[in-house]
Amino acid sequence: MTGAVVPVVAVTSPGSLVLAAPSTNTKPLYVGGSSIAATPNTAGAPPWTGNGNGLTLVPGQVLPINKVGNAGQLYAIGTSGDLLTYAYGTEISP
């Protein structure tokens, strides 16, 4: 991460996406739309309401996302030097 908003991945329709914040990160990462900021959501508000900053990934957390429509619309922000890793592929089937 750079401390600025960056696109997560350039693939628009990966099917499924797995995001991970390595346990060596020093602070949480935030994943959402292009206007995301490094601020936690308002207490008690669902992360998809837009009143905060999307999804929070704490160090060591893995987030699988199935049926991604357009991963090109996902952005992230985090502390400079921290990492956000990802993998993508076909849809995950039960």
Cα–Cα distance list, 81 to 18, 63, 71, 84 (Å): 20, 20, 23, 10
Distance separating alpha carbons of residues 56 and 40, to the nearest angstrom: 7
Contact between 52 and 41 (Cβ < 8 Å): yes
Which residue has 């199935």 as its token pair?
66
Kindly list the domain boundaries of the chain, sorted by start residue.
6-89
Which residue has 């991945």 as its token pair?
9
Instruction: Please report the DSSP string for 69-91 in residue order.
Output: S-GGG-EEE--TT---EEEEESP
Among 13-22, 40-49, 58-67, 83-92, the range scoring the smallest mean pLDDT is 40-49
Please determine, for residue 61, whether its predicted confidence score (pLDDT) is greater than 90.
yes
